[in-house]
């Protein structure tokens, strides 16, 4: 499999549930990202990992907990979510953190609905 993959593609969860989103990249990249895309809003960067180390937390509530066990895998652990957290969650990767000459690639996203 090539590129950036995400599972599950769709997720419905209650506010008291705990679930995890998974992202895997097969591009040999060292930087990985989580974005949130809500309806009618621009993409919002949530977290950045570079060489497995978190380099950016964009004021994300603690009910979202990222984990990067290695440069190929990125998880987003979810607990006690709110209905307003319903959105499309996109994972991306790039060779290094974004800079001159670095292109970012996205996975297909997980569409999350919190009931």
Partner 1 sequence: GIQVEQSPPDLILQEGANSTLRCNFSDSVNNLQWFHQNPWGQLINLFYIPSGTKQNGRLSATTVATERYSLLYISSSQTTDSGVYFCAVESGYKLSFGAGTTVTVRA
> Is 99 one of the binding residues for partner 1 (CB under 8 A)?
yes
* Residue 111 structure tokens: 């569409």
* Residue 89 structure tokens: 């969650």
In the list 108, 113, 114, 115, the residue contacting partner 1 (rule: CB under 8 A) is 108
* Contact (CB, 8 A) for 68 and 11: no
Residue span binding partner 1 (CB under 8 A) among the ranges 19-27, 64-72, 75-83, 104-112: 104-112
Find the distance separating the first CA and the last CA of the chain, reported in whole Å: 33
In the list 14, 28, 42, 83, the residue contacting partner 1 (rule: CB under 8 A) is 42
In this complex, which beta carbon is closest to partner 1, that of residue 80 or of residue 113? 113
Secondary element (H or E) of residue 2: none
Residue span binding partner 1 (CB under 8 A) among the ranges 15-23, 59-67, 68-76, 89-97: 89-97
Distance, CA of 50 to CA of 97 (rounded, Å): 7
């Amino acid at each position: 499999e090539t590129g950036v993959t995400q599972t599950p593609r769709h997720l419905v969860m209650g506010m008291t549930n705990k679930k995890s989103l998974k992202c895997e990249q097969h591009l040999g990249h060292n930087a990985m990202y989580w974005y949130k895309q809500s309806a009618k809003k621009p993409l919002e960067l949530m977290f950045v990992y570079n060489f497995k180390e978190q380099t950016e937390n964009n004021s994300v509530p603690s009910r979202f907990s990222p984990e990067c066990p290695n440069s190929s895998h990125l998880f987003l652990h979810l607990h006690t979510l709110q209905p307003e957290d319903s959105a499309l969650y996109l994972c991306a990767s790039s060779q290094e953190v974004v800079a001159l000459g670095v292109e970012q690639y996205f996975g297909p996203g997980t569409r999350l609905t919190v009931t």
